[in-house]
A = this chain, B = another copy of it.
Amino acid sequence: ARSGVPEAVLGSGKTVEEIADLAATAVETTGRAIVTRIDAAGAGAVRRQLAENAPKATIRWDERSNWLVATAPAFERPDVDARVGVVTAGTSDAVPAGEAAMIAAELGADVTRIDDVGVASLARTIDAVSRLREQDVLVVAAGREGALPTVVAGLVDTPVIGLPVSTGYGHGGEGEAALSGMLQSCTALSVVNVDAGFTAGTQAGLIARRVAAARGG
């Protein structure tokens, strides 16, 4: 309902028919449908439905991060003059990081991915510093002990949003250690819930818009 924040359909817990209907309606009424947590079956259903309702729509589906964006030909994505960096430690962080990157981009930000900079190989983290400093806001994804946002925030002045990832088994597994570690971080961060790439990306996008508005964009 927030003006300017696109509505997204959360695919999980819905039937493929429900998803397809909601996506078709979104394309028709707003020119764009954003669906998260959607699998191949859901993406197929959307494709079939749009083939009927909106045959000229463009569909992008990210198999890895499980999102789908469909746009009507006339739709113009906003473009704001501000940079969002999305940072990951390992391959398992890709799913929520991809979700964050997508929604920040749909909000109009210039999104850069900075991958494979986990704290177990600190040299790579330090090598990335200049790329990290170029961004207006950073989303930093990390699973297991979730130390990466703490380390990154100690190296830059940019606001950092910690995104805990549901990796790890045993005590503190499924992202709980990463979440509580980020909440306890000895460098100041704000945080979103485990795997909440959508929330992190939206927050980063809203900050980017404020920055861009200040730039006169």
State whether the Cβ of A175 lies closer than 8 Å to any Cβ in chain B: yes
Tell whether A154 pairs with B194 under 8 Å between CB atoms, given A183-B172, A199-B189: no
Interface centre among A182, A209, A212 (most CB of B within 10 A): A182
State whether the Cβ of A54 lies closer than 8 Å to any Cβ in chain B: no
How does the 8 Å CB contact mask read for A171-182 relative to B, with 1 for contact and 0 for none? 111011111111
How does the 8 Å CB contact mask read for A140-177 relative to B, with 1 for contact and 0 for none? 00001111001101111111010010111111110111
Contact across chains for A181 and B181 when beta carbons are under 8 A apart = yes
A binding-site residues for B, Cβ under 8 Å: 1-5, 13-14, 18, 82, 89-92, 118-123, 126, 136-137, 144-147, 150-151, 153-159, 161, 164, 166-173, 175-196, 198-200, 202-203, 206-207, 209-212, 214-215
Residues of chain B contacted by A92 (CB below 8 angstroms): 13
Contact across chains for A2 and B167 when beta carbons are under 8 A apart = no
Q: Across the two chains, which residue of chain B brings its CB closest to A211?
A: B214
Tell whether A180 pairs with B177 under 8 Å between CB atoms, given A13-B167, A192-B191: yes
Contact across chains for A120 and B190 when beta carbons are under 8 A apart = no
Contact of A1 among B120, B179, B185 (CB under 8 A): B120
Q: In whole angstroms, how far apart are the Cα atoms of A187 and B183 in the complex? A: 20
Tell whether A171 pairs with B181 under 8 Å between CB atoms, given A2-B153, A214-B211: no
A-B contact pairs, 30 of them (CB 8 A): A2-B154, A2-B156, A2-B187, A4-B157, A89-B186, A119-B147, A119-B150, A119-B186, A122-B126, A137-B207, A145-B181, A159-B203, A159-B207, A169-B193, A169-B196, A170-B193, A171-B179, A172-B179, A172-B181, A172-B184, A172-B193, A173-B193, A177-B181, A180-B180, A181-B181, A188-B206, A190-B190, A190-B200, A190-B203, A210-B211
Least CB distance from A105 to B in Å reads 15
Q: Nearest 5 A-B pairs (CB), nearest first?
A: A172-B180, A170-B194, A190-B190, A188-B202, A214-B214
